[in-house]
Amino acid sequence: MAKKQNTKTGLFFGTIIFGGLGIFFLFTWVQNLQMARSSKSWPAVQGTVVSSNVVRVLDSTDKNGKRHYSYKGLVKYSYRVEGQNHISTRISFGDYSTSSAGHGERIVANYPVGKEVRVYYDPDFPVHAVLERRAGFGNFIPALVGFLFLLGGIVLLFTFFAKLFAGR
C-alpha cells in the first residue's frame, strides 16, 4: 500500500513539475513572439557596432573528460536615444548558440566592428533594442521544450488519475 501511495505522490509532483516547466517555456516563447511583433512599430536610430566576436562557452564535460562547447556570435552596439547613450547585444528575439562556430561566424561577418547599424528600440524602455525585428530560430527552442514538458505533464496527469481511480 505504501508503494502505491509513493507512486501516486511521485506522479502528482511529476505532473506539477513537468506541467510547470512546460508552461514556463511556453510563456517565454509567447513573450518573445510578442516582443518581436511589438518591435515592428519601434522607432529606429543609427548605432555603431563596438565589438563583434564569436564566444565559446563550455556547456558540459562528459564522463571521459571531453569538453563540449557552444558558440554564439556576440555583437555589442551603441546607440543614442534622447541624449542617453545605450549599449545592447540583442540582435533579434530568440538569439541562440550552436555546437558549431559557423553560425556565430556568419553573425560576426554581418556585423563587423565599426559598422553603422539601424537600431530599433522600445520607446517606453530604450534599453531594449534589436538590430533585426523578427523572432529568430532560437525562439522556437523554448516552444519545442515547452510543448514536450507540457505533454509529459499531461501524460503524468492521466497516469496519476488512472492510478488514483484504480486504487478505489
Q: Is residue 10 in some structural domain?
A: no
Identify the domain containing residue 132 by its residue range: 17-166
Least-confidence region, from 12-16, 97-101, 103-107: 97-101
How many other CB atoms are there within 10 angstroms of residue 147's CB atom?
14
Whether residue 7 is contained in a domain is answered as no
Q: Would 37 be classed as within a structural domain? A: yes
Residue 5 lies in a domain: no
Give the cell for residue 38.
511589438
N residues, the chain: 168
| Pairwise pLDDT comparison (134 vs 63), residue with the higher score | 63
Strands (E), 38-115: 44-61, 67-81, 84-88
In this structure, is residue 34 part of a structural domain?
Answer: yes
**What domain count does the chain have?**
1
The model's pTM is 0.69
* Residues 48-68, mean pLDDT to the nearest whole number: 88
* 4 inside domain: no
Q: Would 1 be classed as within a structural domain? A: no
Is there a domain that residue 149 lies in?
yes
Determine the pLDDT at residue 38. 86
Residue type, 40: K
